[in-house]
Structure 1
Amino acid sequence: MLIETFADLICPWCYIGKRRLDRALADRPGLRVDVRWQPFQLNPDMPAGGMDRAAYLAAKFGGTERARHVYRMIEETADRDGLPLALDRIRRTPNSLDAHRLVRIAGRRGLGSAMADALFAAYFCEGLDIGDHDTLAAAAVPLGFDVQEVKRLLAGDAEVAAVQAADGLARQMGLQAVPCYIFNRRYALSGAQEPASFLPLLDLGAEEPEALSVVAG
């Protein structure tokens, strides 16, 4: 079955949601699944170089105290899920366009999901700037990519149009928040749901053919 994951690589709930989907899939070991990453930028107007993390959080949540409260809840949720998180290490909130491009580039080799995992870990565990090309190239090396090849692709326009088209189509479909999961292009599940919430859709979707394509690949 096909599962399209609409998410942003700087979204902590998307990080949590991906782990929960992985846990649900582990409970269905015989299910043949094609999980495809679909980009969604929470901050499409973010400057190319990103911005200072403290300034970003203050602007987004109306002050640093409110931001601390929101992120404390995220940290507690991640901790219950056994998911490492080190939000205090993040110094910049990046523009995520190039990170999405890299996931799509990796997807050509069937490594899109693995690349998303690597970038989530780089950002949320190590506090690295995943808008920086050197950081992105380094994250791709353990997956078998050549550093210079990745830098060359990111310096050009590889996958820019595809990412922008997929993001735009998601908004046309009415998506306003992520994560959101589309099963066989028929059924949707929004939010970082508990693993058990995925199971009925995995079971239902496995029993029927895919619908016509309506989502940019």
Structure 2
Amino acid sequence: MKVEIWSDVVCPWCAIGKRRFEKALAQFAHRDEVEVTWRSFELDPGAPQEREGDLAEHLASKYGVSREQADGMHRQMTETAAADGWEFHFEHARGGNTFDAHRLIHLGAERGVQDAVKERLFRAYLTEGERIGDPETLVRIGAEAGLDADEARAVLASDRFADEVRADERQAQAFGINGVPFFVIDRTYGVSGAQPAETLLEVLDTAWAKSHPRQVLTPAGGPDGSACTDGSCAV
């Protein structure tokens, strides 16, 4: 079974969705046969490498709310995240362009450490206040997640994986994805948002049952009286 997850590393709901999916997957009977791939989605493709001002100020401006309301939204999100094992510190977050972060995630996929890179980037932005658009910061973060620092630096100095990021984003458009996280199972089932683990598990079970139908034999011949069933025989 293949699960593709579209998300952005500066999206708090995406981090929460990751935890909830992990919980669902841990309960899924066929988890060892699930391949998970992280797909690219930029919430703000036009963002500068590093945005001026703090995150609450940007949120207030974007949604036309007061600074106090923006702080309240962050407090509520922080409490929600804590219930799923995350420690968010929006007061330290430093917004910026995430295109290079997504290229790093593609490198992680090629090197077999994609999930670790994704996890590390979430924590870097949402917990530690790292500069998510800064190439040298990304090199260090990638190395901490298992990538070779020199290779990561070379990738970010080139346009490698740029086409892959854009291909992910074109596919998101084709699917009609306009918000993240978004889970796609076997290119058949789509789940929007950080749904509860129970909901995600139900979708996994449904998708598995559809792709692995039980084989039922069609009865043929005469009556089935000449048979033993349930540990006994009719004689």
> 1:11 corresponds to which letter in structure 2?
C
Q: 2:73 aligns with which of 70, 73, 92?
A: 70
Measure how far apart 1:130 and its partner are.
Answer: 1.4
Distance (whole Å) between structure 2 residues aligned to residue 156 and residue 112 of structure 1: 19
Distance (whole Å) between structure 2 residues aligned to residue 93 and residue 8 of structure 1: 12
Q: 1:182 aligns with which of 181, 184, 199?
A: 184
Distance (whole Å) between structure 1 residues aligned to residue 113 and residue 210 of structure 2: 26
Tell me the equivalent position of 2:97: 95
SS in structure 2 of the partner of residue 189 of structure 1: strand
Matched, 1:38 2:39: yes
Q: How does 1:1-217 map to 2 (within 5 A)?
A: 1-28=1-28, 30-31=30-31, 32-54=33-55, 55-62=57-64, 63-90=66-93, 92-209=94-211
* Percent identity for Structure 1 against Structure 2: 36
> 2:126 corresponds to which letter in structure 1?
F
Measure how far apart 1:79 and its partner are.
Answer: 1.6
Greater Cα shift, 163-172 or 106-115? 163-172
Measure how far apart 1:165 and its partner are.
Answer: 2.1
Measure how far apart 1:208 and its partner are.
Answer: 3.9
Measure how far apart 1:125 and its partner are.
Answer: 1.2
Distance (whole Å) between structure 1 residues aligned to residue 196 and residue 9 of structure 2: 19
Q: Which runs of 5+ in 1 are unaligned?
A: 211-217
Measure how far apart 1:43 and its partner are.
Answer: 0.5
> 2:40 corresponds to which letter in structure 1?
P
TM-score, structure 2 normalization: 0.83
CA displacement 1:1-39 (0-9 Å, x = unmatched): 111101111000000000110011111254211111111
Pick the structure with greater CA Rg. Answer: 2
Greater Cα shift, 41-50 or 198-207? 41-50
Distance (whole Å) between structure 2 residues aligned to residue 70 and residue 6 of structure 1: 23
TM-score, structure 1 normalization: 0.90
Distance (whole Å) between structure 2 residues aligned to residue 144 and residue 46 of structure 1: 27
Q: Could you say what the CA RMSD is over the residues aligned between the two structures, in angstroms?
A: 1.7
Distance (whole Å) between structure 2 residues aligned to residue 156 and residue 53 of structure 1: 30
Runs of 4+ in 1 over 4 A off after TM superposition: none
Q: Does 1 or 2 have the higher relative contact order (CA < 8 Å, sep 6+)?
A: 1
Q: Which runs of 5+ in 2 are unaligned?
A: 213-235
> 2:49 corresponds to which letter in structure 1?
A
Distance (whole Å) between structure 2 residues aligned to residue 59 and residue 151 of structure 1: 34
Greater Cα shift, 134-143 or 60-69? 60-69
Distance (whole Å) between structure 2 residues aligned to residue 140 and residue 116 of structure 1: 9
Distance change >3 Å, CA 51–CA 36, structure 1 → 2: farther
> 2:115 corresponds to which letter in structure 1?
S
Q: Is the CA contact (8 Å cut-off) linking 1:6 and 1:179 kept in structure 2?
A: yes
> 2:34 corresponds to which letter in structure 1?
V
> 2:142 corresponds to which letter in structure 1?
A
Q: Is the CA contact (8 Å cut-off) linking 2:117 and 2:146 kept in structure 1?
A: no
Count of residue pairs brought into register by the alignment: 209
CA displacement 1:153-212 (0-9 Å, x = unmatched): 1010011111012112212321111111011110011111111111111112223449xx
Measure how far apart 1:82 and its partner are.
Answer: 2.5
